[in-house]
Structure 1
Amino acid sequence: MFLILVAVALLAAYIYTKYDKTYNYWKRKGVVQLNPVFLYGDAKPFLDGQICEAENAMSYYRKFKAMGVRFGGVYSENRPEWVPVDPELIKTITTKDYEYFDLHFSEIPKTLFFNNLFHMRGEEWKNMRRKLTPVFTTGKMKMMFDTLTEKADILSTLVHDLVKLDKPIELKGISMRFTTDIIGSCGFGIECNSLTDENSEFYKHGQKLFGTTSKRPTIWTKIAKFLSLTSRHNHKFFFDLENFFRNVVTETLKYREDNKIVRKDFMHLMIQLKNKGKITEINSTDDDVYNKTVAEDGISFEELAGQVLLFFTAGFETSSTTISFCLLELTQHPDIQQKMREEARALWKKHGGKFTYEAVQEMTYIESVVKETLRMYPPLAILPRVCTKNYKVPNTEVIIEKGTTLKISVWGLHLDPEYFPDPYKFDPDRFSAENKHKINPHAYIPFGDGPRQCLGLRFALLESKLGLAMLLKDFNFTLHETTPYPPKYVVNNFIPTVEGGVLLKITKAD
């Protein structure tokens, strides 16, 4: 009994010491913190499944903003996280001092899913960024635009057929099938046919990647993490999906090399990098891309496959989320919906009964609506960063230690009335030519900010504008009574997702 009491006392002393060291970390640094709860830290509402992670991060932002501080400290279970609030500080972090925070997530495994620009850092990132920048020039976007219009036509045909059934339609799934076909064709050179077959392999694997959510941790998992007995991350899920995508890239590359295929898509540009070390124009079938001429400045198969997978994962969810949230808002604002329809129809007629690349560039009002959608519903609602070397916060004595996670609430900034008056009002005119100069560019960051801003943002806007224009040209959208508004979010998804989907009633527009 004595030994048991001694063991209990020692365990209690260890837990108390661990608790004090863990949950007073920020206080000892002189950083304002909230009121962490044992085992949960400040993430209890999220970990208990009451709200999604992005909503939890937004609550941090608002609490520190109400305190009048530029930044604060929180705890995710037993892990300290730094929360910058001031846009000027965020600007400094993401631009001038970005090299101190050139990692998005810690504990990144060396696997295909993470071997890409998003997860690279340092010189490796700089070299790959330099090589990939030419991918999204105007010329390359025009080159891939025919694929986008082909898929937009199929999308329109599908919705026409569904309207005849006179049933409510779940738009998020259809939007994801649309973006799957675009990314599959442009990225992999494969006709996924997701719009005509919702059981297509590409679509199903994309759903696995973004639709499967992690289980909420049990009390025993929390205790194990608090005592540092287990890892915070489980990457087995990504390993399970990797074989499918690796085989697709391998087979596509072999087929193209064996048959000297020249195709105006992302995959061909990656083959150029692999064999030539740089991206050039794709002129004709005489392109000698398969005659490898570089050894050191090219990219490996693993790097090629990693960038193609990044193109898929970044494009699969974000544009479909934007399209579905946009249509959700348009059901509440029929005047905005009609104005978009009129612009789409006018440009369709002006450009000879089709949407050309130039027509999409002229969609100024539709672009304002898309940007307002990205303000209210940013797909990347939390901008993650990891401090990679000790950082002294400007104008303070506070040192952010290497390895500390940052949690920048994009959603918090976008819904802050200081930067966007009446922030819950859906108002595309904020982004009109007359008003957009009033917006603080560092308070509006749906694609990130600074040198690590999303490289494919123009492609994402192009895809979203075209998809919306094609739908609104012919159809009218109203909200089905089973879809709540304001929306309720799936609690375990990193990207804000409407619980139950976005179910809409669709009719032919006058």
Structure 2
Amino acid sequence: MYLSTTVPKPHREFFITPIDKNSPTCWRVNLPEKGRGSTNQSSDYRVCQDAGEWSDSCGGGGGRRRHSYWSSQGVPSPPSLPFIGHLHKIVTVTNHRWELLHELYIKFYQEKCFGMYECFNPVLVIRDPDILKNLMVKDFSHFTDRRPVGDQEGSLMNEMLANKTGEGWKILRSIMSPTFSSGKMKRMFPLVCQNVQTFIAACLEEAKKNDYINMKDKCGRFSMDNIASCAFGIDCNSQSVEKSMFAENAEGFFAITPLKALKFFLMILYPKAFNAVGFKLDSHEILFFQRIVDETVKSRESAPKRGDFLDLMLEARGEANNDNTSVKNVLKDKAMVAQCVLFLIAGYDTVASAIGFCTHLLAKNPKEQERLRQEVQDLVRENEGLTYEGVMEAKFLDACVMETLRIFPPGTLGERICTKTYRVPGTDITLRPGDLVQFPFYSLHRDPQYWKDPLQFRPDRFMGENKAEIKNFTFMPFGMGPRNCLAMRFALMEMKAALAMLLLKVDLQLVPGHEEITIDHSPIVLRAKHGIPLNMKLRKTTT
């Protein structure tokens, strides 16, 4: 099955259980306790195995019509539950969306695609790489947008590039793209290297005090420092300070509370209802980040340039002439705050997890670790130091990072919204505006049809002729097409700089009893549940 995860014991506020083991169509919904000493209330619902054939008490004719959307087009789909469709495994805290997709990916292994329902919303999951190529690139004009976000017009969430749609997305993307060019990344490279040095020093200091180092924690602090420095223009010092104001507000922003979970659920599945009840995701943490950016923007009028993300956006806005006011109109102060917060959302956990996973895999594969170290040492000798060009062009370093992202893709799936009626190539399926399409990156990355021994760490898959033989659209750690990850080059620079500089200093070794990683039960980002314990041995020579 190529899915090795340990699921934590659920803490349920409500859950669904079968009433009769011999009758898989009959379920009990247990509602939360109303007070101390009260008993759980429960209601029985009868669910027909056919996704579209509910009893009247469970949805009536409207339910039958809505949950027969895929069967009417001959698209295979597993049985669904009333009202929640195929979200029941998420509701019962038994797995999350990427895990559910992986189970169904295996179940429908002979199919090019299969259907699902998020409540009443139809979702088409694409398994076939050739169809993915059409949807993500060739026929992109039919899938220009991501899932709509239910937040008030003008809110910070709606100002983020990832949530922009139509022409607004196109304009902002064109403005932001130059800020992630190779030349601009080279300007940020010294900032990243400073944070890497602090990261390594903190790791070595912890190695003196403890039996092992928790790389999940150290990589998370490195990622936090990097984002604070490169996106917000401040020094966070999270490696030396237990919890800085920046880190505290970032953790508060990412913390999942019952109210925040409800808001997120409504925002994603019922954006109109989200707006109707007046919910907003903007919080006091957002106000904290907004204040930082506002103060930094004002200080940049007289302060020397740092070469960070804020500088690059200010340059883009400043270069707008009188005949081109689109940049000025789009990159207002609030929009710049939104892109900085997006930098935090998209880059914090993803980069930290990727670096942590790679250190674990290198410790587990000492021959590959030594081979990578030798490459980095050669680069240092050739270039008289570690340069941006050397790090980004190192072939085996790139292969190790890519193989890590294949096995542990931080972003486990992608999705687009159909914006124009579309006939899926090679099928009889017609997608209509508003239909959601999902791409199972995690499953494609581990499919033995495309990868021999998919759970084995083999960086040579991404070297020379092997790399050329990888089937297109089976490896997408940063997405594909016009809406791929804009900050991909920056993320790779972070990962490669951290790994290269670390291996020059230390040998990475596994901690006995921690040879395997247990995946966290995280809704979005793939990360280690119990941390990533490693031993580090300081090397006598670094060149």
Q: Would the TM-score normalized by the shorter structure come out above 0.5?
A: yes
Residues 52-451 of structure 1 mapped to structure 2, 5 A cutoff: 52-64=96-108, 66=109, 68-109=110-151, 110=153, 111-210=155-254, 212=256, 236-257=280-301, 259=302, 261-277=304-320, 295-298=325-328, 299-352=331-384, 354-451=385-482
* Counterpart Cα distance in 2 of 1:505 and 1:237: 40
SS at match of 1:25: coil
Deviation at 1:327, TM superposition (A): 1.5
Aligned length: 478
Task: Map Cα deviations across residues 355-377 of structure 1 (whole Å, 9 max, x no partner).
Answer: 22133134211110000011111
Name the CA shift for 1:198/1:364 in 2 (closer, same or farther; >3 Å): farther
Indicate conservation of the 8 Å contact 2:95/2:521, yes or no.
yes
CA–CA separation in structure 2 for the residues paired with 1:238 and 1:230: 13
Give 1:85's aligned amino acid: R
8 Å contact 1:113–1:242 — kept in the other structure?
no
Matched, 1:475 2:506: yes
Which shows bigger deviation, 103-112 or 92-101? 103-112
2:504 and 2:279 map into 1 onto residues whose CA distance is: 43
1:366, 1:400 → 2: CA distance?
A: 41
**Matched residue of 1:478: which SS?**
strand
Which runs of 5 or more structure 1 residues have no equivalent in the other structure? 1-7, 279-291
Distance 1:394 1:293, change over 3 A: closer
- What is the rounded CA distance, in whole Å, between the counterparts of 2:217 and 2:255 in structure 1? 11
SS in 2 for 1:385: strand
Q: How far off its partner does 1:198 sit?
A: 3.4
Following superposition, the deviation at residue 15 of structure 1 comes to: 2.5
CA distance in 2, matches of 1:476, 1:245: 38
The answer to whether the 8 A contact 2:113-2:124 is kept is yes
Measured against aligned partners, the alpha-carbon deviations of 1:433-485 in whole angstroms (never above 9, x if no partner) come to 23100011311111000111111111111110110112222222333356472
In structure 1, distance between residues paired with 2:371 and 2:260: 43
Distance verdict in 2 for CA 1:462–1:217, change over 3 Å = closer
Amino acid in the other structure paired with 2:128: D
Deviations along 1:229-264, one digit per CA (max 9) or x if unpaired, are 88999965543431111111111112223x254332
User: For residues 244 and 462 of structure 1, what CA distance do their matches in structure 2 show?
Assistant: 28
Q: Which amino acid aligns with 1:265?
A: D
* Distance in structure 1 (CA, Å) of the matches to 2:261 and 2:390: 49
* TM-score w.r.t. length of structure 1: 0.86
Secondary structure of the residue that 1:369 maps to in structure 2? helix
The residue number in structure 1 matching 2:51 is none
Q: How much does 1:216 deviate? A: 11
Relative to 1, partners in 2 of residues 1:342 and 1:232: Cα closer, same or farther, differing over 3 Å? farther
Structure 2: gaps (5+ residues): 1-44, 46-54
SS at match of 1:75: strand
- Normalising by structure 2, report the TM-score: 0.81
Alignment partner, residue 285 of structure 1: none
Task: Please report how far the alpha carbon of residue 69 of structure 1 lies from its aligned counterpart in structure 2 after TM superposition.
Answer: 2.0
1:430–1:436 Cα contact (<8 Å) kept: yes
Match of 1:22 in 2: 66
Contact 2:157-2:281 within 8 A present in 1 as well: no
Give the 3 Å change call, closer, same or farther, for CA 498–272 of structure 1 in structure 2.
Answer: same
Deviates further, 375-384 or 355-364: 355-364
| Cα distance, 1:217 vs structure 2 | 8.5
1:275 and 1:293 in contact (8 A); partners too:
no
Tell me, in whole angstroms, the C-alpha distance in 1 between the residues paired with 2:260 and 2:282. Answer: 18
Please state how far the C-alpha of 1:317 moved relative to its aligned partner. 2.0
Pick closer, same or farther for the CA change 1:492–1:145 going to 2, 3 Å.
Answer: closer
Measured after TM superposition, the shift of residue 388 of structure 1 is 2.5
Q: CA shift at 1:429, angstroms? A: 0.2
- The 1:215–1:433 alpha-carbon spacing in structure 2 relative to 1, beyond 3 Å, is farther
Q: For 1:429 and 1:296, how far apart are their aligned partners in 2?
A: 46
Query: Deviation at 1:276?
Result: 2.4
Q: Distance in 1 between matches of 2:250 and 2:260?
A: 22
Higher helix proportion, which one?
Answer: 1
Alpha-carbon distance in 1 for matches of 2:333, 2:323: 15
Partner of 1:144: helix, strand, or coil?
helix
Alignment partners' CA distance in 2, 1:215 and 1:409: 29
State how far apart, in whole Å, the 2-side matches of 1:174 and 1:236 are: 33
1:283 alignment counterpart: none
Q: CA deviation at 1:164?
A: 1.1
Q: Percent same amino acid at aligned positions?
A: 30
1:188/1:266 contact within 8 Å kept: yes
Residues 1:78 and 1:498: Cα distance change in structure 2 (over 3 Å): farther
Highest RCO, 1 vs 2 (Cα 8 Å, sep ≥ 6): 1
Structure 1 counterpart of 2:111, which letter? V
Amino acid at match of 1:461: L
CA deviation profile, 1:205-230 (whole Å, cap 9, x unmatched): 33334453768989xx99xx99x988
Whole-angstrom distance in 2 between the partners of 1:59 and 1:48: 16
Who is 1:496 aligned against?
A: 526
C-alpha displacement of 1:402: 1.9
1:256-287 deviation line (CA, Å, top 9, x unaligned): 23x25433221111112223228xxxxxxxxx
- Greater alpha carbon shift after TM alignment, 246-255 vs 307-316: 307-316
